[in-house]
Chain A
């Protein structure tokens, strides 16, 4: 462990502390400098850490132990292996660019310093999460990023929708985190330690053990894996806990790009990859992961088809792409999942920041139907977003193509029904992805402007602090994938080899010709999707309306996101309110809660008031108490003397 490793999380933390202490009074509009220096320094340190890992230098050390008690040990330590290195690069690159972008985007906001303070705090928490060498630290980071996300979604807390969205994100995540917490406890009880090195040393030794829950016995490892996955489902917005992510778009757009696209939401995938040695022991858990991912992918993609809000389209796209990553993990191709995480970070952050740039120009308008023809007004934004869309659609040569193709091939070659099933889901999703991505591009940037003459007058390209990050991310969206060119295209699949020591090598049961088939078909699918979007939204703009009319039930279902929010409202929120109102309020609140929460203090306070009376302020009484106490002690001792016991 060297200084540079410690500095990676320490610098953003320092930036947070400085900004929160001095931001309001001293730094004000210069708050970004501190944050920027912090994250840039952290970025440089992680580059150096990456080069260290590339030369085979793996760090696994406890930085310091906070408290120990028997085998229970709370420590902060860093594990810097290939997986961590990849995450460090992803987090710090996107964070750095988002910081730069925010200088322009948040310019003039009255919470300017607060925004950068929380951005730094988030970066610190996320780095702690990925760098930890034990589960408790991961849990700490996990909760901390959730908290930062809560603050940043609700950044404009005076907007009711923002405050509500923040609350929703927090509550929905509670469900997942509860499972994750249980999983961590169960790991400690099973392995007697929370350090990765102890837990992952030989988890197979526990493979056969079972655990009794409600009279049924379950496989212990499966239970642990599923509990952990529970947390991943919440954090990475998979079915059925995906509902918070689209609403989280109420936060400032840079936040959406950093937290809700590139980093925090991928923590679930990272966690599954990190704990891969537990997951692989349980075929059941793997199947659950794969199917959840596949179903979420197609589910979210269909919703994205018909949304009107530019950020929501991208948000559903994020949910869908996260599903892809879980598909990869579920079929055992963890490196493919991380590879997609890595490329996705670039093009998805780019899409969000581009959307932010558009919203900036549109003065807060987010409905794509009110846009159109923005191409000529904001060429940089257009070009970079086009590249991102090409990448996400899987057009050959761009980074999204390599990672997505890898996942589809691994799913196809997994063997067994599950693999084929999720491959099918993935392939259909790929078609939908290409379609909705280019719907966004065509409706927003092509055609004529539909937002009225006044607004058109104000359209302008964003300032350089915003366009530069776009360009940088566009480079990533194009080129990031070249570290993982598959063998079939003459590459070396270096990315997978790099990660192999951590996540193992996935087995592919398939011939070369099958691999060619998968690849070509995904190219065909991508191009079909793009062409279809072109046909619908450029050539023949009447068709979408016609479809919406003719298939209005389906359209409505999709537009209303399968009514999941409404279903939850009816099934969970309303009953919960009813329950709390009718049952808890009337019965428990009046008796139990009043009794316990208010009554206990009342009783204690009553008791306290009575007891105070003893303290009369008169020395004689005090000395009497002392003497009485002394005599009681003497009697106790005497009884020991004559009876031999107390």
Chain B
């Protein structure tokens, strides 16, 4: 059987990948995807913990996360559309009307 540590490392690495993507990419859609990767890294670790501790709470939380992430994605995409209508771009660097 695969030891728990492997899962923890996997989720940690995946989380960092998502974070790295979020920080480096400028395209709004890709950034949204990166956040999704981070969520899924969390999901992996939760399921792993849940499995190894023989406790279902973690998996319940995973369902919650998936559901909420869908809502979050919906809002995110709606915002992207609103932004695109206003500025005809989805590159985040262009959105620096307010600073200082």
Contact = CB atoms under 8 A, between A and B. Distances in A.
- Do A and B touch each other in the complex, judged by CB within 8 A? yes
Interface of A: 612-613, 615-620, 623-624, 627
B12 to A, nearest CB: 11
A620 to B, nearest CB: 6
Contacts of B6: none
A612 B93 contact: no
A615 B23 contact: no
B49 interface: no
A389 B22 CA distance: 92
30 contacts: A612-B99, A612-B100, A613-B100, A615-B99, A615-B100, A616-B96, A616-B99, A617-B95, A617-B96, A617-B97, A617-B98, A617-B99, A617-B100, A618-B92, A618-B93, A618-B95, A618-B96, A618-B99, A619-B92, A619-B95, A620-B23, A620-B24, A620-B26, A620-B92, A620-B93, A623-B22, A623-B23, A624-B23, A627-B19, A627-B23
Give 5 closest A-B pairs by Cβ, nearest first: A617-B99, A617-B96, A612-B100, A619-B92, A623-B23
Contacts of B99: 612, 615-618
Contacts of A612: 99-100
Given A613-B100, A620-B24, A627-B23, 18 more contacts: A612-B100, A615-B100, A616-B96, A616-B99, A617-B96, A617-B97, A617-B98, A617-B99, A617-B100, A618-B95, A618-B96, A619-B92, A619-B95, A620-B23, A620-B92, A623-B22, A623-B23, A624-B23
How large, as a class, is the contact surface on chain B? 10 to 19
B82 to A, nearest CB: 16
Contacts, number: 30
Interface string B83-97: 000000000110111
A499 B99 CA distance: 71
A624 B19 CA distance: 9
Contacts of B19: 627
A627 B16 CA distance: 10
B79 to A, nearest CB: 12
Contacts of B95: 617-619
Nearest to B100: A612
A617 B95 CA distance: 7
Where chain A touches its partner, the secondary structure class is helix
A612 B99 CA distance: 8
A615 B99 CA distance: 6
Nearest to B31: A619
A616 B93 CA distance: 10
A615 B98 CA distance: 9
Contacts of B23: 620, 623-624, 627
Nearest to A628: B23
Contacts of B100: 612-613, 615, 617
Contacts of A620: 23-24, 26, 92-93
A338 B85 CA distance: 83
Nearest to B28: A619
Could you say which of A616, A618, A624 has the most chain B C-beta atoms within 10 Å of its C-beta? A618
A228 B96 CA distance: 62
B15 to A, nearest CB: 11
Contacts of A624: 23
A623 B93 CA distance: 12
B3 to A, nearest CB: 21
Nearest to A630: B19
A567 to B, nearest CB: 58
Interface string B22-63: 111010000000000000000000000000000000000000
Contacts of B93: 618, 620
A624 B97 CA distance: 19
Contacts of A619: 92, 95
Could you say which of B26, B96, B98 has the most chain A C-beta atoms within 10 Å of its C-beta? B96
Nearest to B98: A617
Could you say which of B96, B98, B100 has the most chain A C-beta atoms within 10 Å of its C-beta? B100
Nearest to B97: A617
Nearest to B96: A617
A623 B19 CA distance: 9
Interface string B65-76: 000000000000
Nearest to B20: A627
Contacts of B22: 623
B16 to A, nearest CB: 10
Nearest to B26: A620
A616 B97 CA distance: 10
Contacts of A623: 22-23
A624 B21 CA distance: 11
Nearest to B92: A619
Could you say which of B23, B24, B26, B97 has the most chain A C-beta atoms within 10 Å of its C-beta? B23
B74 to A, nearest CB: 20
A617 B94 CA distance: 9
Contacts of A618: 92-93, 95-96, 99
Nearest to B25: A620
A615 B97 CA distance: 12
A623 B22 CA distance: 8
A211 B92 CA distance: 69
